[in-house]
Amino acid sequence: MKHRILGTAMALALTACATTTSPTGRTQMVGGVSQAQLDQLGAQAFAETKAKETLNRDARQNGYVTCVVNALVRQLPPEQRRVAWETAVFADNEPNAFALPGGKVGVNTGIFTVAKNQDQLAAVLGHEIGHVIARHHEERITRQMGAQAGLGVLGALAGARYGEGAANTVNQLGGMTAQAAFLLPGSRTQESEADVVGQRLMAQAGFDPRQAVGLWQNMMAASANRPPQWLSTHPDPANRIRELQRDAPSLVPTYEAARKAGNVPKCG
């Protein structure tokens, strides 16, 4: 019975899979979950993180993050702009940030030690929102399901279709919470793609795309030759900096046009 439930959940999910083209022209396999399910799991992961971590209540820092997020969100496609975006700042010295489907953004206070200005913070958050725009979470779940992995995600799907009993059955086979499913690092390909999408997004929002280079230089300088956990799973930092430096000049006209059009963020 357990195998039938798991197999049925996988079969139903995988029949909906399809290929699409990412913002950089890469072929992706998506469709393992619906947008509604994806948003629900994103909200669950965000709630789990807020319950587990200590929230920072500093009004200035929270307002600063919200201001940068709002400036970036205004440049998103209409379906993403309609989402009620929510931010949270966590009292954690690890320089880290994330964005989830359903418009959830989290930032550790440690990020302020390396993001020295609003443009550098926009580089971080543009990268993370880039994961959402490029459907990386959906792609990852679809891939996990195809490999018969991510049983916690399958449990959520089984529960949605067959009720709590089915979800419990799947989760007992080897649970993975929504938090783990969403917050585990993406592939290096996804991370590089999020850099491209994020740098483009920050320029469109009126943030200087050249500051993305400064951010990663600050990140490496602060790591004392030992990359923080967030960086350890990302592309080689030296290569990343070179790629951001390579792309910045072509984005400066976009940045200047955005500023001329009135997109002049004043977040602090």
Please give the positions annotated as active site. Answer: 128
Tokens of 131: 């994961």
User: 3-state SS of the chain: helix, strand, coil percent to 5?
Assistant: 60, 10, 30
Contacts of 256 (CB under 8 A, 6+ apart): none
Question: What is the per-residue burial (b if ≥16 Cβ within 10 Å, else e) of 187-212?
Answer: eeebbbbbbbbbbbbbbbbbbbbbbb
Amino acid at 180: A
Contact 228, 120 (CB under 8 A): no
DSSP for residue 54: P
Nearest to 23 by CA among 185, 192, 182: 192
Compute how many other C-beta atoms are within 10 angstroms of the C-beta atom of residue 130.
25
